[in-house]
Amino acid sequence: MNLLLVAIGGFLGSIARYSISVKLNKRLIATWIANISGSMLLAFSLHFYMQGLISDRTWLLLGVGFCGAYTTFSTFGNEVLQLLLHQQYIHAGIYVLSSFTVSILAVFITLSLL
């Protein structure tokens, strides 16, 4: 049952991630938005799970499955590599730093507000 919950969440998360990518013409901003919003959703989910407000099953579906598929390190890594291969070093640096900084800041703010 646990595996099925993670699979369903992953299915839905990957569809949501793909939808953002299509709507934004597969630009870097799509991955950035997915990773930031996914970090915030994961922070909410973790908080509610740790407080006992959501069940283990909901955590597996939403936190592990959905957020795991919705946020995407592989796409992020590929985009950074493409920027580096095209010698867009400053753009790559800004993308990496802003992705990590804003994600961590978003999680901190989210958890602070809860």
- The yes-or-no verdict on residue 28 having pLDDT over 90 is no
Q: What is the pTM of this model?
A: 0.83
- The yes-or-no verdict on residue 63 having pLDDT over 90 is yes
Q: How much is the pLDDT for 26?
A: 79
Contact residues for 93 (Cβ-Cβ < 8 A; gap 6+)? none
Find the helix or strand (DSSP H, E) in which 94 lies.
Answer: helix 89-113
Q: How much is the pLDDT for 114?
A: 85
Distance of CA 21 to the CA centre of its chain: 13
Give me the phi and psi of 50, to 5 degrees please. Answer: -65, -30
Q: How much is the pLDDT for 73?
A: 81
Give the residue-averaged pLDDT of 1-22.
Answer: 96
Per-residue pLDDT tens for 31-44? 999 999 999 999 99
Find the helix or strand (DSSP H, E) in which 29 lies.
Answer: helix 28-50
What is the spatial distance between Cα 25 and Cα 11, in angstroms, rounded to a whole number?
A: 21
- In the block, residue with structure tokens 């507000």: 113
For the chain, the domains span: 2-113
